[in-house]
Structure 1
Amino acid sequence: MSTILIKSVLLNEQPIDLLIEGQYIKEVSPDISASPDIRIDGTHKAVIPGFVNTHTHSAMTLFRGFADDMPLEPWLTEKIWPHEAHLTSEDIYWGAKLACLEMIKTGTTTFMDMYFHINSIGRAVEEMGLRAFLSYCFFDGFDPEKAATERKKYLQLMAKLEARTPRVKFMIGPHAIYTVSGETLQWANRLAMENDLLLHIHLAETPTEVANSVKQFGTTPVRYLAQLGLLSPRLVIAHGLWIDDEEIKMLGDHGASVAHNPASNMKLASGYRFKYNELQAAGVTVGLATDGCSSSNNLDMVEAMKLASLLGKAWRQDPEAMPAPEVFRMATSQGAAICRLPAGKVAPGYLADLCLVDLKIPAFTPNFNTVSNLVYAANGNCIDTVICDGKILMQNRKVPGEEEIIERAAKAAYDLMKRK
């Protein structure tokens, strides 16, 4: 079992030593005497938990900068979905590998993903050393014949899923209530329950979605899921912008979770009044997310923290709303709780999913409060070292093989856009 000793690193504004043994944090104390396999000098650095990105479409790095400045519905139907139809498993492998590289470079150690060819994504995750929860994003278009085909295909896929490492786990991922029939949603929920898997779905993202839900199903999105029996501790909702107080209570009563995506919500103009305080008060666990690079344009969770905080203050007109420590918990321990992981804290017994922040940069000068500077002054470039599952993935901001990943992913993206 390998050991890593980090000496003289800042934690909660105090210098400490940190010992990692295998996958876990073994000891955190002022002065540790040990003979580790690897010793890291933590001087002028702070240690934080790795970020947990609770909603991504990793391989959509290939669409970064493509079809910007469009509303959600035409963006999906006219630009994204037609090109996604031409994606190959190799494209998705390189797109996911680029996403993993970007997440490592900006401090994410775990992410929840919804996309296609998830074995290719799993291979990328395994090779890059991250932790991921992957779901195949499926649609049936309310066509009974297609629904039957999709369900059969999904069961075949589940039988073939390859979790080469415990770091890769799977979820059930119906796309949304406007692309998947109620019967298939109930089937997906049974599948999640029988296999003790999380169920991840886009929900209540736009006013149009809510209006169409009322028109088509006679009720709002959360109430519709309640009628179908989908509200449970397994349920993780992406977005959850357009929900009322009664729906918030329903989510809390059933132990559901919500992933807040401030960047894509603002960029697609889906909405900005995310009801974090109300959700927390109702007992809903709220995580932070970037969404995919086609709608947020990066996977930087440090940037996402700042956006979440400033957005929450602005719409409430309250400078005390969404304080830095709160959004930091969203990005770390609350995300880990959604994933049901013993992570998100720097303490003995927790997974050694950690980052070292470089404090010798302008964003941390002066450094009266590390978390405040991290949320309000820095961006992901402040991350110097990343450790996941007790293994060093990046040190001195260098990830092995990053040049090839960037080159191959760019080629895959350009080639994709030439296909008809």
Structure 2
Amino acid sequence: METQTILIKNTSIIDREVKKGSVLIENDKIVEITSDNTPTNADEVINGEGKCLIPGLVNTHTHLSMSLMRGLADDLPLDTWLNDHIWPVEANLEGEHCYVGALLSALEMIKSGTTTCNDMYFFMDDVARALDEAGMRGVICHGMIDLFDEEKRKAEFKETLRIIEKCHNTADGRIQVSLGPHTPYTCSPELLNWVRKKADEKGLRIHIHVSETEKEVDDSLNERMKRPFEYLEDLKFLGPDVLAAHSVWLSGAEIALIKANKVKLSHNPLSNMKLASGISPVSDLMANGVCVSLGTDGAASNNNLDLFQEMKMSSLLQKVRKLDPMVMPANKVLEMATINGAAALGMENEIGSIKVGKKADLVLVDMKAPHLTPYRNPVSHLVYSTEGADVSTVICNGNILMKEREVLVLDEAEVMARAENAAQDLLSRN
């Protein structure tokens, strides 16, 4: 294969510290970081003047295809939202809907600086196809729900194994497959035990929703006399390969369990606020050394996939919760969206920071805007002032996905037109 090189020159490189310099990419990897801006004979030279170079953002909890349901059922509690609106629509989903919805989400993520996502949904081979075409990195899983029914459980096992067989480690290694039991209350102990066994057997990660609402915890206490994380610990389900989304309602004992088992968490502040689920005790978790990353959840409960909004909101929410302006400083929040996200997916040695030898998943943010002026503290600006629309160039696995705000891998107008049609088709079936 012919070597392809890209030089990003004369930019502010943000990685724990801020330094002016240039980054040289060869094929899919970062090969050199220098403070020297001497021109080189790279195949592609990108001028980073007036821009910040950050690691590609990592969204650790998505339901990409739900972009087709954006604005469908707003201002409702979670159980009403799910039972009366979302699940009836999802009953009519087909692979093509999921493919087009995932394409739309990929487009939105590229335009707002996300290069890696962790997705749970249905028809996941169609989702994988969309992520592959978009050039993104993704961990995907079939959302398993058996509702304690043996026939359903067998069907979920079959579909999960099909997706692993078909999609794991595809698209030049950009697509990985994990195991996706939906929640402790929609999955039987038999299903959860099977997931734990398969994860150990195949070396796969686990993606699950836990303790999103107070009702979920109350129901668990009434039915099992245990809180959700205590129940999962009893099943010997917890471990460092588990990523738990939401984790809003936690006791001190559960935080200790999460820490002891090295469970990773995905914090979804905007979705939790919109559904009035509550505020996760993120600053307490991080003070206990727990790896907390950021997710958007689906576009039906957010209603966008902009991780810059999640960064700002996660910091401000904890400051209000603790009545302490010093908790969750900007640098820690930026880590949640980058290196913590990578660690949550077991990819901290590959992505999440700008280091020689790591994958070239990089994002240039244009700092020349009224809301980013005066340009004094780039990390503060990135967390508290930047919007997804300030992203100018996105590189994943050494390939340029967007350059100077022009998406190169997808036809933007075509994707949006297809999404309009697919959403109309899906909702007309209900």
TM-score, normalisation: structure 2: 0.95
**1:254-403 equivalence runs, <5 A:** 254-272=261-279, 274-341=280-347, 342-400=350-408, 401-403=411-413
Residues of 2 paired with 1:316 and 1:290: CA distance? Answer: 23
Q: 1:161 aligns with which of 154, 161, 167?
A: 167
> In structure 2, how many angstroms separate the alpha carbons of the residues matched to 1:348 and 1:155?
36
Give the counterpart of 1:51 among 50, 54, 57. Answer: 57
How far did residue 415 of structure 1 move?
1.3
Equivalent residues of 2:11, 2:47 under 8 A apart = yes
Matched, 1:31 2:33: no
2: CA distance, partners of 1:344 / 1:150 = 32
Alignment of 1:210 with 2:217, yes or no, is yes
Could you list the per-position Cα deviations for residues 327-361 of structure 1 after superposition, in whole angstroms to 9, with x for gaps in the alignment?
10000010011112221111211211000010111
Q: How much identity, in percent, do the aligned residues show?
A: 44
Which of the numbers 219, 230, 236 marks the counterpart of 2:237? 230
- The runs of at least 4 aligned residues of structure 1 exceeding 4 Å deviation read none
In the alignment, residue 428 of structure 2 is paired with which amino acid? K
Cα offset for 1:189?
1.2
Deviations along 1:179-207, one digit per CA (max 9) or x if unpaired, are 11111111111111111111010001100
Q: Give the letter aligned to residue 292 of structure 2.
A: V
Measured against aligned partners, the alpha-carbon deviations of 1:51-80 in whole angstroms (never above 9, x if no partner) come to: 000000000000101100000001001100
CA distance change for structure 1 residues 386 and 156 in 2, over 3 Å: closer, same or farther?
closer
Structure 2 residue aligned with 1:193: 200
Q: 1:415 aligns with which of 403, 425, 428?
A: 425
User: Structure 2: where are the runs of 5+ without partners?
Assistant: none
Which residue type is aligned with residue 86 of structure 1? N
Distance 1:321 1:130, change over 3 A: same
Equivalent runs, 1:68-79 vs 2, <5 Å: 68-79=74-85
Which segments of 5 or more consecutive residues in structure 1 lack a partner in the other structure? none
Q: Distance in 1 between matches of 2:127 and 2:254?
A: 34
Contact 1:55-1:259 within 8 A present in 2 as well = yes
Report the Cα distance in structure 2 between the residues aligned to 1:372 and 1:414, rounded to whole angstroms.
Answer: 41
Aligned partners of 1:381 and 1:149: how far apart in 2?
42
**Residue equivalent to 1:250:** 257
Residue range with higher mean Cα deviation, 391-400 or 31-40: 31-40
Find the aligned partners of 1:279 and 1:239 in 2 and give their Cα distance. Answer: 12
Which residue in 1 is equivalent to 2:9?
A: 7
Q: What is the deviation of 1:32?
A: 5.2
Distance 1:161 1:344, change over 3 A: closer
Number of aligned residue pairs: 419
Instruction: Give the superposed CA RMSD.
Output: 1.2
* Matched residue SS, 1:73: helix
Q: How far 1:278 moved relative to its partner?
A: 2.2
Equivalence for 1:113: 119
Shift of 1:363: 2.1
In 2: Cα distance, 1:147 partner to 1:40 partner: 51
1:74-153 correspondence to structure 2 within 5 Å: 74-153=80-159
CA deviation after TM superposition for structure 1 residue 151, in Å: 2.3
User: Over residues 299-333 of structure 1, what are the superposed CA-to-partner deviations in whole Å (9 max), with x where a residue is unaligned?
Assistant: 00001101101111111111111111111000001
Displacement of 1:208? 0.3
Q: Do the aligned residues in 2 keep the contact of 1:140 with 1:146 (CA within 8 Å)?
A: yes
Q: Do 2:54 and 2:364's aligned partners in 1 also have CA atoms closer than 8 Å? A: yes
| Bigger mean CA deviation after superposition, 104-113 or 30-39 | 30-39
Residues 56, 361 of structure 2: 8 Å contact kept: yes
Deviation string, structure 1 residues 21-50 (Cα, Å, up to 9, x no partner): 111111111115531111111111110011
Cα contact 1:19–1:32 (8 A) shared by 2:
no
2:247 aligned partner: 240
**Structure 1 residues 314, 100: CA separation in 2 closer, same or farther (over 3 Å shift)?**
same
Post-superposition Cα deviations, 1:373-398, rounded to whole Å, max 9, x if no partner, equal: 11111210110000000110001111
The amino acid across from 1:15 in the alignment is K
Specify whether residues 65 and 31 from structure 1 end up closer, same or farther in structure 2 by C-alpha distance, changes over 3 A only: same
Contact 1:210 1:220 in 2 (8 A): yes
Name the stretch that deviates more: 160-169 or 118-127: 160-169
Which residue identity lines up with residue 344 of structure 1 in the other structure? G
Counterpart amino acid of residue 268 in structure 1: L
Q: Deviations over 1:111-140 (max 9, x none)?
A: 000000010000000000000000000111
- In the alignment, residue 263 of structure 2 is paired with which amino acid? A
Secondary structure at the residue paired with 1:378? coil
Q: Secondary structure at the match of 2:289?
A: coil
